[in-house]
Amino acid sequence: MKRILVLILTGLMVMALSTGAAWAKPDNTKQEAAKAKVSAMKLYKAQYKVMVDGKISVKSNKFKDTDNHWGSAPIQRMTAMGLFAGYDDGTFRPNNNISQAEMIALLMRLVDTNSNDDEEDVDEDELDEVPGWARDSVKQAAKLKIMSLNRFHSAQQASRAQTCIAFAKALEKEGYLDLDEFNIDPDNLPFADGKLLLDNDDLVYILAMYQAGYIKGAPGNKFLPNNAITRAEMAAILERILADLKEDDDGEDEYELSDLEGDLLGDYKKIKDVRVSDINLDGDKDEVDVKVEVDLEYYDVEWADLSDRDIKDWLEDLVGDIQDELSRYTEVNGEIINNDNDAVLVKFSKEGTGRLSVIYKDDDYRDAGGDVNEVELALKGDQFDVGNVEFKITRINYDVNDNEIMVDLKAQEDFSSTQWNYLDVNGYIDDDVENICAEIAEAFQNDADAEPVMIYLDLYDDDSNLLESYEYDVANESLD
């Protein structure tokens, strides 16, 4: 069985990195796949924008010890994004200090490490004292010169100065912090304890972080550079950075969809041998409607020769390029129409990072699968219980070329991904999913004379966040 456990807002898996560090580690496979097209910082920035703009709700305070804490709001938002996690006893422990290893591992989530292959490598012997869960992060940070191994001690607490310097160097390398934009004068410090700072080189980074508003001073007009960074303070710093980057995005001019239309039409002139007459976009970065025009007065024979897979592969590339340019969270809805008579040939949609859904409506032009469309319509909206939670089929699509069925089920009641994880302790959820898949396969076999081979089933919570993914082998009647 192939599973992907995800957090409430993202496709990032929550795992504890060590017994003492209650913060989340992303699933490496999914994160690296995402980074192939967009940097990690851009992913978190877009995720934060979606959250604070109200498109995804953040549940109320879930920690027993943060209700009246000054850092309650950033703690909730950063845990919702998967950058932190609570402890098993329901606490967050906001005043606990963060170790240097934890700080670096957390920071490196925001850094694109795909472009540092040319950097001088780090001797593995220098990493002997670094715990395994942080070793890759520390190695990458050292390669990028975000930190010096000579001044790094994994288990020791991360100081305010050390944290500022590391974050500033990372933001500078990512292009989000330009030191030339700040009025930095080492001889005119805003802190009464400025002489405690290490040297002028470090001071430049600390003052940049301070002037950018990412870190605050302490009472008595002090900076307290050697004081430890707490979990709450770290959550606040992360939110200030993401909030600032969001404001920069909000102030930018919107991408001209007309420019993107021209680029797409240049890249997607044909669906195999069928010439595309036009591609029209309407909307914004949150949601865009796509209208693809073909003329079957001249290309009816070529269209008849297309398979479902030909069309779907073309749409996968098209929608992928649209989301690459706008946002991976952009909701894309569209149609392919015959501009000779305005008949809708294909409808398609993709909600952010979800799967592409394609509905073929061109039976008058090609044999696209017989009665499978009727079975799809009949099954859509059906409800099933999984672990005593009611789910409804919101999308179902049969690929007649590969004999594969894609199914999305959405929860009909309010519960979190954390609650979902506890439901599967005894393994009885697998039985429920197998029964659902068997019923779906039987419907296509009996009502459409189809021969499904695999079923790919995704379960979503009530906010449309992915909970788990399954693969069902029809012949073996079992989950892979």
Same domain for 242 and 329, yes or no, is no
Weakly modelled stretches of the chain, pLDDT under 70: 1-40, 42-43, 50, 52-61, 112-120, 186, 194-198, 246-255, 355, 367-370, 415-419, 422-428
Structure tokens belonging to residue 20 = 């003492």
Q: Are residues 315 and 399 in the same domain?
A: yes
- Asked if residue 8 belongs to a domain, the reply is no
Contact 295, 340 (CB under 8 A): yes
**Per DSSP, which regions of 253-369 are E strands?**
270-271, 274-283, 287-294, 331-338, 343-351, 357-360
pLDDT tens-digit series, residues 314-348: 999 999 999 888 887 789 999 999 998 989 999 99
Based on the fold, state whether residues 261 and 236 are members of the same structural domain: no
* Residue type (1 letter), 460: Y
User: Does 266 lie in the same domain as 242?
Assistant: no
Give the dihedral sign, CA 179/183/187/192. Answer: negative
Is the domain of 466 the same as that of 348? yes
Residue 324 lies in a domain: yes
- Among 151, 109, 150, 155, CA closest to 130: 155
Amino acid 129: pLDDT: 85
Does 11 map to a domain? no
Q: pLDDT at position 54, please?
A: 60
Number of domains the chain is built from: 2
Strand order in the sheet with 270-271: 270-271, 274-283, 287-294, 331-338, 343-351, 357-360
Structural domain contains residue 4: no
Q: Are residues 381 and 446 in the same domain?
A: yes
For residue 35, give its domain range.
16-251
Going by the DSSP 8-state scheme, the letter that residue 92 receives in this structure is -
Q: Please say which residue of 226, 251, 276 terminates a domain.
A: 251
Confidence at residue 202, expressed as pLDDT on a 0 to 100 scale: 80
Largest CA distance in the chain: 82
In one-letter notation, the amino acid at residue 161 is: A
Whole-Å CA distances, 88 to 25, 80, 170, 361: 16, 16, 32, 51
| pLDDT of 112 | 64
Q: Domain check: are 72 and 104 in the same one?
A: yes
| Last residue in a domain, options 251, 267, 283 | 251
Query: Within this chain, do residues 264 and 240 fall inside the same structural domain, yes or no?
Result: no
434 in the same domain as 314: yes
Looking at the fold, whether 224 and 273 belong to one and the same domain comes out as no
Q: Which two tokens stand for residue 477?
A: 């009647």
Q: What does the pLDDT look like over 69-127, one tens digit per residue? A: 888 888 888 888 778 888 888 899 999 999 999 999 888 887 766 555 556 677 777 78
Pairing of strands 287-294, 331-338: parallel
Domain shared by 200 and 311, yes or no: no
Give the count of alpha carbons within 13 A of 408, CB side only.
18
What's the pLDDT at 384?
87
- For residue 222, give the DSSP letter: B
End-of-domain residue from the set 251, 280, 310? 251
Taking the complete model, does pTM exceed 0.85, yes or no?
no
Is position 5 within any domain? no
345 shares its domain with 280: yes
**DSSP type of residue 230:** B
